């Protein structure tokens, strides 16, 4: 079971593509715990080159209830235990939305799926 994490002004550390650690302010709600949250943030940070920005300065997270994800959607995870979220990442002044899903690996850990650009038909989280 995932814990609900509410980040008022939590700070997380991500690493840029060059391996340099950067501080990222995270706000909002996520079902990911500390290590999983860090791993997802690391995946989002890897998109920085596409925005000519090494890393986001702020990420606002919001939960999307699984009941709002159509069963036939291409972006639906293969696990019935998947969690869905919208993460809006601010890369050098421009906010970019990411569709995030994650679910437990029966062998331990979790699977993560980070989709950008945000799917047109996907529901949005609440901010």
Which domain does 71 fall in, by range? 5-115
Predicted model pTM: 0.84
On whether residue 122 sits in a domain, the answer given is no
Express each pLDDT in 73-124 by its tens digit.
999 999 999 999 999 999 999 999 999 999 999 999 999 999 999 999 999 9
- How many domains are contained in the chain? 1
Nearest alpha-carbon partner for 24 in 2, 4, 45, 47 = 45
Query: In angstroms, how far apart are the furthest CA atoms of the chain?
Result: 40
Residue 26, pLDDT > 60, answer yes
pLDDT, the chain, mean:
86
Query: Cβ-count burial of 100 within 10 angstroms (0-12 exposed, 13-18 middle, 19+ buried)?
Result: buried
On whether residue 127 sits in a domain, the answer given is no
On whether residue 17 sits in a domain, the answer given is yes
On whether residue 120 sits in a domain, the answer given is no
């Amino acid at each position: 079971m995932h814990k609900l994490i509410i980040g008022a002004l939590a700070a997380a550390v991500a690493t840029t593509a060059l391996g340099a650690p950067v501080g990222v302010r995270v706000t909002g709600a996520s079902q990911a715990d500390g290590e999983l949250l860090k791993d997802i943030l690391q995946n989002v940070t890897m998109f920085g080159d596409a925005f000519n920005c090494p890393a986001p300065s702020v990420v606002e997270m919001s939960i999307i209830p699984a009941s709002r994800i159509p069963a036939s959607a291409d972006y639906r995870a293969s696990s019935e235990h998947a969690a869905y979220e919208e993460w809006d990442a601010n890369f050098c002044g421009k906010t970019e939305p990411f569709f995030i899903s994650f679910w437990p690996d029966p062998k331990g850990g979790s699977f993560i799926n980070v989709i950008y650009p945000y799917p047109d038909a996907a529901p949005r989280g609440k901010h």
